[in-house]
Amino acid sequence: MMNRPSWDEYFRSIAELVATRSTCLRRKVGAVLVKDKHVLATGYNGAPSGVPHCLETGCLREKLNVPSGERHELCRALHAEQNAFLQAARYGISVLGATLYITNQPCAICAKMIINAGIKKVIYSGDYPDSFALEFLIQSGIELVKV
Indicate the annotated binding residues. 79, 107, 110
Annotated binding residues for Zn(2+), written as ranges, equal: 79, 107, 110
Give the separation between CA 112 and CA 99, rounded to whole angstroms: 15
**Please, what sign has the CA dihedral across residues 107, 108, 113, 116?**
positive
Give the residue among 6, 2, 4 at the shortest CA–CA distance from 147.
6
Pair 90, 112: CB distance under 8 Å: no
Residue 81 appears among annotated catalytic residues: yes
Catalytic residue among 9, 73, 81, 135: 81
Active site residues: 81
